[in-house]
Structure 1
Amino acid sequence: MLGVTYKIGEKFKPHYLLLCVALAGSVLTACGTDSAKSSSESPAANQGATEATVSGENTRDAAKREQTFKDELGHEIQIPAQPQRVFAPYLEDSLLKLGVKPVAQWSNGNLGHDYLQGELQDVPKLDFSGGAPSSEVLLSYEPDLIILHTANYAGNGVYENYSKIAPTYVFSNAAGDVEKSLETLGELLGKSEEAKQAIESYHQKVDEAKAVIEKNAPGKKVAIVRFAAKGVSLMGGNYFCGYVLNQQLGIEMTKLTENENSLNLSLEILPEMDADYIFVINAYGQGTERMKEMTESSIWKSIPAVQQGNVYEVSDEYWLGSGLIAYEKIIDDTVKLMTE
């Protein structure tokens, strides 16, 4: 409040009082005018301030909602912080490990990931037997994130078309290192902690299984024979079930696959298969005739593992699967069959 000061002890003179009254009146008039002006302008001013605040908040929220990633083919993409509608064909195993159910699932004709159908039974299948589904088909599922598990899926214009529908991330080969791929998926989906916990749990399972096998079947060798429509092969120790047994559980493979990911198997080289246990896979039920032909031969029956009853047909559903759920099932089978 505006006033007049005076020295202590000085006599308060009447003209000072008049001056005070005049000044006070001026102040009140000015205050009233400013107040009215402020009142008349405040809605617009407040609205502008509110809009600026909301705009700033929206910008910050948008930044939080989107993150920039570069995929394994070098594409830089903006991904929602927590995507809600994910399409990631052939990565359903890993998605489920993170607690994410896709909008559609991979299939080869009518064949899908049968071992996952308990959780995916209500998820529609998209057939990849003739190549990736068209953009029109995929668009009907309204994905907000597309993840392709191999660079092969992104060719022939697929990436360009899919990326117009939603941000599209491409792995070079997600099956090459399932744990690393799971970590990447965790980052893309805002599920890094879930990925970390899943991997830690898996490592614990591996350690426990290794201890049981080393105690009950030390030094034993295995062979994995895959019967398929195109032929018979021995699976090496670098991918799918071979990776789990050899690289994770530390079980030695037959010498025939020491330097091979896959080796064509014929009756002529069967006697060289030095394995204490043989695991047989009928791939998608398409190797039945070839399996019958080989296993009924006298050469097959002369193999020590066969004579000792250590030949087991295992499920192609997950022994040819790629993901920690499949790997855990493979471990359970291996421990059971090698230590009973």
Structure 2
Amino acid sequence: MFHLANRFGTVFRFPFTVWLCLVLAVSLLTGCGSDQAQRAESSEQPQSVSTAADTSATGANTPASSGERTVKDELGHEITVPAEPKRVFAPYLEDSLLKLGIKPVVQWSNGNMAHAYLQEELKDVPKLDFSGGLPSPEVIMSYNPDLIILHTATYAANGTYENYAKIAPTYVFQNASGDVEKSLVTLGELLGKSAEADQALKAYRQKVQEAKEKLDQAVGGKKVAIMRFAAKGVSLMGANYLCGNVVHQQLGVGKSKLVENANSANVTLETLSNLDADYIFVINAYGQGTQRMKEMTESSIWKSIPAVKQGHVYEVNDEYWLGSGLIAYEKIIDDTVKLLAK
């Protein structure tokens, strides 16, 4: 029995069980008041902000932490490029890829015929036939690319871009063959190989300058015609793309008036007599122009051309003279110097 006196001196007597209940009730009331105070204090404090470490810990992927970049291709598509692409599908850009030290997961071919001048470096890379058109998305998916690069806008037409973009980020050039040096810079940026691109371009431009000096001394003021014999006809290549750009634009060798303001010009027996050139480079495109070459070179008109009479006709290697990339261009320069600056 516990005793409790009031201010009047009256003593109240409580059984032990009643006293215990009173103590427990007071404890509970005190605890509740403390929790409410803590909650009130917490609500007045500023909320914490997620840090980069918090984001990474939750598995979120951000450009800052992953190294991925968002770029816009030449058709205006915005794509997210992997930080370090490992499996690149870039048909017809094998030359430039090799200059950057990269092998694609598969290489372009026409039937079983690929870029012959690159086959030593690409001997372990499977060929993919484009002779029947662009490969289906299912075929591309089987190579598991993490980046797709299309060298021309025509490759992206008719829903191809949308289908390929579902497989991997897909970058499209308007025409990568139009300005190979510019395209190489872009590829370097996409693939994290800008230093390699800069080094390759520096070496190439030095080679061009040295060759140009030799040619200026040997054949300054002379003209060269680059004739392409193919299954569909004969054409004269201008100075705006491929080997024509190398010979006429970069090396500064003169061109025929037939392609003065044109990318190319069709050549027939009727127009052949108007060919004004001191030297003729002949290209048998993929071996498919043999018959047309025979017909034209055996004609009396061909034999009357001054360059032919002087023995200034040279058949050059179609493997790289129709190639697109610095490796091909370097070989074209070597041939031109060898043939003209004797």
Q: TM-score range by the shorter chain?
A: 0.7 to 0.9
- Look up the match of 1:26: none
In proportion to residue count, which structure has more helix? Answer: 1
Identity over the aligned pairs, expressed in percent? 73
- Look up the match of 2:160: 158
- Look up the match of 1:73: 75
Which whole-Å CA distance do the structure 2 matches of 1:54 and 1:159 have between them? 32
* Shift, 1:61, TM fit: 7.3
Deviations 1:44-86 (A, max 9, x none): xxxxx99838528975676442111101111111111110000
**CA 1:54 to 1:78, structure 2 compared with 1: closer, same or farther past 3 Å?**
closer
Gaps spanning 5+ residues in structure 2: where?
A: 1-50
- Look up the match of 2:124: 122
The alignment status of 1:218 with 2:203, answered yes or no, reads no
* Counterpart secondary structure, 1:132: coil
For normalisation by structure 1, the TM-score amounts to 0.83
* Shift, 1:298, TM fit: 1.2
Per mean C-alpha deviation after superposition, the further-off stretch among 58-67 and 302-311 is: 58-67
| Structure exhibiting the larger radius of gyration computed from Cα positions | 2
Which whole-Å CA distance do the structure 2 matches of 1:320 and 1:64 have between them? 40
Structure 2: which amino acid aligns with 1:172?
A: Q
For normalisation by structure 2, the TM-score amounts to 0.82
Q: 1:202 aligns with which of 201, 204, 211?
A: 204
Deviations 1:15-37 (A, max 9, x none): xxxxxxxxxxxxxxxxxxxxxxx
- Look up the match of 2:103: 101
**CA 1:135 to 1:311, structure 2 compared with 1: closer, same or farther past 3 Å?**
same
What count of residue pairs does the alignment treat as equivalent?
A: 293
Residues 223-234 of structure 1: pairs in structure 2 closer than 5 A: 223-234=225-236
- Look up the match of 2:31: none
Which whole-Å CA distance do the structure 2 matches of 1:319 and 1:254 have between them? 18
Contact 2:284 2:290 in 1 (8 A): yes
Q: 2:282 aligns with which of 276, 280, 283?
A: 280
* Shift, 1:268, TM fit: 1.6
Contact 2:63 2:69 in 1 (8 A): no
Deviations 1:115-143 (A, max 9, x none): 10010111111111121111111111110
- Look up the match of 1:92: 94
- Look up the match of 1:302: 304
**Aligned structure 1 segments of 4 or more residues deviating by more than 3 angstroms:** 49-54, 56-64
Deviations 1:98-156 (A, max 9, x none): 00000001111122111100101111111111211111111111100000000110112
- RMSD (Å) for aligned C-alpha atoms: 1.9
Which whole-Å CA distance do the structure 1 matches of 2:198 and 2:324 have between them? 18
- Look up the match of 1:32: none
Gaps spanning 5+ residues in structure 1: where?
A: 1-48
Residues 1-340 of structure 1: pairs in structure 2 closer than 5 A: 52=54, 54-55=56-57, 59=61, 63-340=65-342
